[in-house]
Amino acid sequence: MSAVTGIDLGTRAVKVAADGFDVQTLAAPRGGPAEALRAALSAAGSQGAVCVAVPDAWLSGTAAGAIAMETLRHECAAELKNTQVLWAGQLAAAAASAAAHGAGRYLVCDIGVAGTRAGTFSVATGAVRVEATHAEVEGGWRAFDTEVRVGLPQSPPLPATWYEQAAERDQARPTAMLDAALSGTAAERAATVYRITGPDGDVVLSAGRLIEGFEPVKEPLEAAILAVRGRVPPDHVVLSGGLSWLPLAMRAAVTAAGAAPLMAGPNAAARGALLFARGDAALVPSAERGPVAVPVSRVRDGLLEQVDVLLPWNEPFAGFPGGPLVLDGEELALSVAGHAKLARLRGLLPGPHLIGARPAWPGPGVLVVRPAAGGGPIHVIPLTELTAG
């Protein structure tokens, strides 16, 4: 029987969640997102429905994000050919995973390897609506790890995976010690919060070292939360990612969000993706989304007629009468939510093309025009950038 699978396509690690199994963690291959997705699909084995959680910016309707998303989709087309595939943002998947805490407005913040992301979501039974997402490129786990190491003795070295030991500890005592050190004495800042065991001996991490290490992370974390929070504090705050265990991250999230966060842990996005794949939860289509169609001419019963070919949201490309649509100019006429629009296809080479629409959260979506034979430029255009026809 084919398995239903949720995949979190992280930068540093890939998580694979399947019914009846613990979440698998794979080191992200050096070959980039496509290699990571292939590795995850291979680890999952025979798939039924699959939901892949990717950076929310890839699905936000921007040109850069849509290009990254389309590149991944195209490079893995062979592996995904016979698979029912859903795509979701990682923050949205984490919101779905946390929905057991009740309906309401969720603010999800993820401290990634590089940078911090936050989003707000309206969550009801089985439904997740994206309100807003925001990303800060500064901060993140790597910046924290680098800063923590500043001033530490070279011997014994701090293990590369020291955070795994720290994350497994009961955080009640570290929380109290760090709270005291933030406005306390030199002795309180020098107090040992974590003792990390390494192959060459123990390494002591003091409260002061952790506080100083967190400085490059604190401001981007607060900025990401404030960018999406709105005037009214959310009903639920979820902290996910590799630093969700750190008391200093929890404290900064409380200050910015106005509510104590739930710690979702590193597997939240994979578990949420599994909920989407199973159909236990679904992303609500953006309010700005409307039908997108391409008017074409065809011969029927010996007469020339014009028909509108809808671009499906759940299939890679539309099916046109006679096969891929032959384009011979740098403009494509479309209908978007009943309004005539033009797409400017600069540098297009005449010939047959595949044409599809990609959903965005939020926003109306993205147009993709790709040469059917593989040669020539690929055009990925947010629908918001189309001109009046």
Q: What is the rounded distance in angstroms from the CA atom of residue 340 to the CA atom of residue 349?
A: 24
Average of per-residue pLDDT values in the chain:
91
pLDDT tens per residue, range 305-314: 788 999 999 8
**Averaged pLDDT, 113-125:** 94
Strand partners, 42: none
Identify the sign of the CA torsion 212, 255, 363, 331: negative
Q: What is the rounded distance in angstroms from the CA atom of residue 242 to the CA atom of residue 109?
A: 11
Confidence label for 1 from pLDDT (cuts 50, 70 and 90): very low
User: Which of 90, 120, 63, 104 is closest to 270 using CA atoms?
Assistant: 90
pLDDT tens per residue, range 88-106: 999 999 999 999 899 999 9
What pLDDT is attached to residue 212? 95
**Averaged pLDDT, 355-361:** 95
CATH 3.30.420.40 in the chain: give the residue spans. 3-139+216-283
Instruction: Report the relative pairing of strands 236-241 and 261-265 from DSSP bridges.
Output: parallel
Q: Using the predicted structure, report yes or no on whether residue 82 has a pLDDT greater than 90.
A: no
Residue % of the chain over a pLDDT of 90? 73
pLDDT tens per residue, range 204-245: 999 999 999 999 999 999 999 999 999 989 999 999 888 889
Q: Using the predicted structure, report yes or no on whether residue 86 has a pLDDT greater than 50.
A: yes
Q: What is the rounded distance in angstroms from the CA atom of residue 241 to the CA atom of residue 202?
A: 26
- Fold classification of 3-139+216-283 is Nucleotidyltransferase; domain 5 (3.30.420)
pLDDT tens per residue, range 242-300: 888 999 999 999 999 998 888 888 899 999 999 999 999 999 999 999 999 999 977 77
User: Any idea how long the chain is?
Assistant: 389
Report CA-CA distances (Å) from 53 to 217, 252, 265: 24, 26, 15
Q: What is the rounded distance in angstroms from the CA atom of residue 318 to the CA atom of residue 388?
A: 22
pLDDT tens per residue, range 4-49: 899 999 888 899 998 878 899 998 888 889 999 999 988 887 667 8
Asked if 109 contacts 116 with a C-beta cutoff of 8 angstroms, the reply is yes
Strand partners, 9: 14
Q: Using the predicted structure, report yes or no on whether residue 389 has a pLDDT greater than 50.
A: yes
